[in-house]
Amino acid sequence: MENNQDQKHTISALVDNEPGVLSRVTGLFSGRGFNIESLCVAETMDPLVSRITLVTRGNDQIIEQITKQLNKLINVIKVIDFTNTEFVEREMALIKVRAEAQTRAEILRIVDIFRCKVVDVSPQFYTIEVTGNEGKIKAILDLLGPLGIKEIARTGAIAMARSKKEGSLKREKSVILQETFGGGKK
């Protein structure tokens, strides 16, 4: 059990979009001594439902306890632990980095390599917008660090389950066509 003691878990919870719901969710974590590494909340396509994406660490027993406790909260509709599933995870960061005459070209090369954007320019600083997974954010921070990062703002991770693979879609499409047109017989 110790080998997964610090395993990272990305958990998504669909909740009622009402005041106090986020407080109840975070209160559940703080009341039991669980740490939240990142937290992101936004409205879904249904304005009455919000998605909370949070990242935490723990072993299987702790994560099972967290998901069970989340499911018991009245305003929680659905809880998904993305561990051991295929999902897409992204984070956005704004990085203000010192941009002096001798380092501007190097910063712009890094921005180009990482497919980032310079979203603000001043005589002494560039503010860079980068979107990607945790590894990409860490990699660009490692490269920009020696050049002089002044400030960082990060959104925290958001995640969504991957869609079914193309083979699965073709089989589903084939089934729909057979049901619709009777399997090709006239």
- The string of pLDDT tens digits covering residues 85-135 is 899 999 999 999 999 999 999 999 999 999 999 999 999 999 999 999 999
**Which pLDDT value is given to residue 163?**
87
**Which pLDDT value is given to residue 93?**
97
What torsion, rounded to 10 degrees, do the Cα atoms 133, 135, 136, 139 define?
Answer: 160
The Cα 175–Cα 172 span in angstroms is 5
**Which pLDDT value is given to residue 174?**
67
**Which pLDDT value is given to residue 184?**
46
**Which pLDDT value is given to residue 6?**
79
CA atoms in the 13 A half-sphere facing the CB of 46: 10
Whole-structure pTM value: 0.77
The Cα 160–Cα 64 span in angstroms is 20
The Cα 106–Cα 56 span in angstroms is 35
**Which pLDDT value is given to residue 84?**
85
Residue position matching structure tokens 């203000």: 96
Q: CB of 140 within 8 A of CB of 130? A: yes
Can you list the residues of the chain whose pLDDT is less than 50?
A: 1-2, 184-186
